[in-house]
């Protein structure tokens, strides 16, 4: 998910990962302003009661079980979006709030949070369709690949298939 259309917000004066409830209590209106901003597609935050939740302008997606209230904020970003966001939530250094910019289907573009003309990586737009071109006799996981670590494992397995020493 790393990209110019990704915003990371941390509250370093507060210990640990700050929860949705604490942010709403200590910084009233912030979450609502972010989730409803036209340039923000969704906000990832950790709730004390629901765990990781993804908030959009008109809905909420609980990552633990996929339950959606209202309009699923991850729907525009494709079927693998929840897995990518859950992976990000699992990092020990995940910030308090992760913002992914909006994606406009009519232009197939994302809103860039960086000062460049366009944006790369992230979810939304043409950068959401990575591919691996490989010889057909090297197996690629049918379930797809989520994250660089998993792709690294696939590439290492190919080296072993080709006779290289196994890497540990």
Q: What is the pLDDT of residue 143?
A: 82
- pLDDT tens digit sequence for 26-57: 999 999 999 999 999 999 999 999 999 999 99
124 pLDDT higher than 90: no
Alpha-carbon gap, residue 66 to 60, rounded angstroms: 10
Q: What is the pLDDT of residue 5?
A: 81
117 pLDDT higher than 80: no
**pLDDT band of 1, cuts 50, 70, 90:** low
Q: In this prediction, what percent of the chain has a pLDDT beyond 70?
A: 90
Least confident of 5-9, 62-66, 151-155, 164-168: 164-168
Q: What is the pLDDT of residue 77?
A: 87
Strongest mean pLDDT among 38-52, 113-127, 128-142, 154-168 = 38-52
DSSP 3-state of 46:
strand
125 CB-contact burial (10 Å; exposed 0-12 / middle 13-18 / buried 19+): buried
121 pLDDT higher than 70: no
Number of other residues whose CB lies within 10 A of the CB of residue 29: 8
Q: Helices in 16-147 by DSSP H: which ranges?
A: 20-26, 30-35, 81-89
Whether the model pTM is above 0.85 = no
């Amino acid at each position: 998910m790393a990209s110019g259309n990704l915003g990371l917000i941390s509250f370093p004066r507060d210990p640990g990962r700050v929860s949705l409830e604490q942010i709403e209590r200590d910084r009233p209106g912030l979450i609502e302003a972010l989730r409803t901003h036209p340039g923000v597609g969704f906000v990832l935050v950790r709730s004390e009661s629901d765990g990781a939740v993804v908030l959009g302008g008109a809905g909420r997606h609980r990552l633990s079980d996929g339950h959606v209230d209202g309009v699923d904020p991850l729907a525009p970003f494709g079927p693998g979006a929840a897995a990518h966001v859950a992976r990000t939530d699992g990092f020990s250094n995940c910030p308090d709030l992760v913002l992914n910019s909006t994606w406009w289907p009519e232009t197939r573009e994302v809103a860039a949070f960086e000062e460049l003309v366009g944006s790369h990586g992230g979810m939304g737009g043409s950068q959401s369709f990575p591919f691996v071109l490989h010889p057909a006799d090297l197996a690629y996981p049918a379930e797809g690949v989520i994250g660089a670590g998993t792709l690294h494992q696939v590439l290492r397995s190919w080296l072993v298939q080709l006779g290289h020493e196994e890497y540990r």
